[in-house]
């Protein structure tokens, strides 16, 4: 395993002839191999956040009965196709990679005279080989890159060379913390309305700073691995978040008391003139003028009124017989809304 990874590092050095550059390419390659697992882990974390309220209900329901709680939670995870352990898989797989890279870096910076810190390197994994990386290491006693000796730690440089020389190492450690904080903010930003318990919030806040004592005591070359892997994970999480939340993560201001997005109250619609007229039984003058009156079936009352009008016009004589449709000879239909219709007077015949 150590020889294989050292050989991979030597091949990457041909692409980027820099000690730090080869470590960056090596880290990117490892993260590329772990990308499917990392994406699966991020999706599992999103699913866990979405079902968080249901998990809390189960915890409250089976409070004091841990066996029943575990049984209900496992059934709940199976029902929703969630694997709670998949979110930890990429981190677990990176631990052996970190240990192997640390051992490979120690072997590459082995010195000809271990008791003399000024003697040149004698790479452990390239004995009898003349690869560009092996030749470059045998010609120097310092793994210089980006203004740092990647074979030394920030704590060792601070003790031996002073604060000014240790500044690049401190900046590198600071990048580890900053990238870890960004990752935590990304995870929290996926579901800002979800409330975590105080213990979990404390762990989230402290976790990025746990890397400080580790990063200051290991060689800077391994710290570069930390920084690059964190940056790649930030990009992977941003990609998964964009795919899962296409419309953007929910905002706390849009969430109601029940956790659902609240909708703004509907604005009252203005009442139309036609609706008001229908309600009051009267129409506006404009609407009455535009619409033609609909003739209605005459009643006995209206027929009698038309008959009396005809009698008056004829000087007391009987009016023409009114038919069953309410029409008199030569008259318009009566009983309809609109302007009153008067029958035409008939010409009197001369008496013989």
Q: Which of 123, 120, 93 is nearest to 108 (CA)?
A: 123
Residue 47 has pLDDT above 70, yes or no: yes
| Average pLDDT for the chain | 73
pLDDT digits (tens, 9 = 90+) for 290-337: 445 555 555 454 444 544 454 444 444 444 444 444 444 444 444 444
CA 232 to CA 28: how far, in whole Å?
Answer: 8
Supply the pTM of this predicted model.
0.63
Q: Cα–chain-centroid distance for residue 150? A: 39
SS3 145: strand
DSSP-derived secondary structure letter, 21: H
Look at 140 and 301; give whichever has higher pLDDT: 140
Residue 17: what pLDDT? Answer: 94
pLDDT at 268 exceeding the cut of 80:
no
pLDDT for position 319:
43
Q: What is the spatial distance between Cα 349 and Cα 352, in angstroms, rounded to a whole number? A: 9
Instruction: Kindly report, residue by residue over 184-219, the tens digit of the pLDDT.
Output: 888 776 655 554 555 556 766 787 788 899 999 999
First to last CA, the chain: 141
Q: Give me the sign of the Cα torsion angle 143, 148, 149, 154.
A: negative
Which residues touch 47 (CB under 8 Å, ≥6 apart)? 80, 82
- C-alpha atoms less than 13 angstroms from C-alpha of 241 in its C-beta half-sphere: 18
Rounded distance between C-alpha atoms, residue 233 and residue 319, angstroms: 102
DSSP for 213-246, please give it: HHHTTSBHHHHHHHHHHHHHHHHHHHHHHHHH-T
CA distance 127 to 122: 8
- Report the candidate in 118, 166, 168 with the shortest Cα–Cα distance to residue 140: 118
Within 10 A of 10 (CB to CB), how many other CB atoms are there? 20
- How many angstroms separate the CA atoms of 324 and 333, rounded? 12
Element (H, E) at 207: none
For residue 336 the two structure tokens come to: 């309809």
Residue 145 pairs with which residues in a beta bridge? 148
Q: Do the beta carbons of residue 13 and residue 132 sit within 8 Å?
A: yes
Q: What is the pLDDT of residues 141-192, one digit of tens each?
A: 999 999 999 999 999 999 998 999 999 999 999 999 999 999 888 877 665 5
Neighbours of 151 (CB within 10 A): 22
* 80 token code pair: 């929703």
Nearest alpha-carbon partner for 236 in 53, 46, 25: 46
CB atoms within 10 A of CB 246: 7
Query: Token pair for residue 88?
Result: 């930890």
- CB–CB of 16/25 below 8 Å? yes
Average pLDDT over residues 268-294: 46
∠ CA 247-253-256, nearest 5°, is 100
């Amino acid at each position: 395993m150590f020889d294989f990874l050292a050989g991979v590092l030597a091949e990457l050095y041909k692409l980027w002839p820099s000690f730090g550059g080869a470590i960056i390419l090596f880290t990117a390659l490892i993260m590329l191999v772990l990308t499917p697992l990392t994406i699966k882990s991020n999706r599992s974390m999103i699913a866990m956040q979405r079902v968080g309220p249901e998990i809390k209900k189960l915890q409250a329901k089976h409070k004091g009965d841990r066996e029943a709680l575990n049984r209900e939670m496992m059934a709940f995870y199976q029902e929703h196709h969630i694997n709670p352990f998949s979110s930890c898989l990429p981190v677990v797989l990176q631990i052996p990679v970190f240990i192997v890279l640390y051992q490979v870096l120690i072997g590459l910076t082995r010195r000809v005279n271990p008791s003399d810190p000024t003697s040149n390197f004698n790479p452990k994994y390239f004995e009898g080989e003349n690869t560009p990386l092996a030749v470059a290491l045998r010609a120097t006693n310092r793994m210089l890159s980006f203004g740092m000796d990647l074979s030394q730690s920030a704590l060792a440089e601070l003790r031996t060379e002073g604060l000014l020389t240790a500044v690049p190492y401190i900046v590198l450690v600071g990048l580890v913390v900053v990238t870890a904080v960004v990752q935590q903010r990304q995870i929290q930003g996926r579901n800002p309305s979800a409330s975590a318990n105080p213990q979990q919030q404390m762990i989230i806040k402290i976790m990025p700073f746990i890397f400080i004592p580790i990063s200051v005591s290991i060689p800077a070359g391994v710290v570069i691995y930390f920084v690059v892997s964190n940056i790649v994970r930030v990009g992977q999480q941003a990609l998964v978040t964009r795919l899962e939340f296409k419309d953007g993560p929910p905002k706390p201001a849009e969430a109601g008391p029940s956790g659902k997005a609240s909708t703004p109250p509907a604005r009252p619609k203005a009442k139309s003139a036609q609706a008001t007229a229908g309600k009051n039984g009267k129409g506006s003058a404009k609407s009455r003028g535009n619409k033609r009156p609909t003739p209605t079936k005459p009643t006995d009352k209206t027929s009698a009124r038309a008959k009396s009008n005809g009698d008056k016009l004829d000087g007391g004589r009987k009016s023409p017989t009114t038919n069953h449709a309410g029409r008199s000879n030569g008259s318009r239909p009566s009983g309809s809304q609109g302007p009153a219709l008067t029958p035409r007077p008939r010409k009197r015949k001369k008496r013989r």
